Amino acid sequence: MLLLLAQLQAHIAAKDEVKSLLEILLATTQEEAGSIFYAVHQQRDQPDKFMVYELYRGKASCDAHLQSVPVKAALQRLEALLAQPPTITFCDTVAYTSLKTYA
């Protein structure tokens, strides 16, 4: 499995729009065959900061996600909404437990 971890800092006035875009990407990503898990987090003490946790079956699945039309469009829109370029980290999975479903 491959983890993509993205850290984003929105312009303070754009934080709600960034949040909405990330939520739309969540809906799109969950339909992708190679996507295992996708979560968007907003920092409590600095609500202009977001962390996106994306888990894929492998590099090919992640690459397909990044090249999809919805993701490319969202990334282009985010450029104007972010205070700085996102920090992207890729990690190979070493060990894991099953994910529990929360309602």
Nearest to 24 by CA among 61, 52, 64: 52
Query: In CATH, which of 3.40.50.720, 3.30.70.100, 3.30.1450.10, 3.40.50.10540 is domain 2-92?
Result: 3.30.70.100
- Asked if the model's pLDDT at residue 90 lies above 90, the reply is yes
Residue-wise pLDDT for 61-74, tens only, equals: 999 999 999 999 99
Residue 98 pLDDT? 78
- Asked if the model's pLDDT at residue 20 lies above 80, the reply is yes
Burial of 10 (0-12, 13-18, 19+ CB in 10 A): buried
Confidence tier at 103 by pLDDT (50, 70, 90): low
Q: Could you give the CA distance from residue 22 to residue 42 in angstroms, rounded to a whole number? A: 11
The two tokens of residue 103 are 């309602």
Burial of 92 (0-12, 13-18, 19+ CB in 10 A): exposed
Mean pLDDT of 79-92: 96
Q: Is the pTM of this model over 0.85?
A: yes
Determine the 3-state secondary structure of 38 from DSSP.
strand
Q: Could you give the CA distance from residue 41 to residue 37 in angstroms, rounded to a whole number? A: 13
Residue 45 pLDDT? 97
Confidence tier at 97 by pLDDT (50, 70, 90): confident
Residues 54, 32: contact at Cβ < 8 Å?
A: no
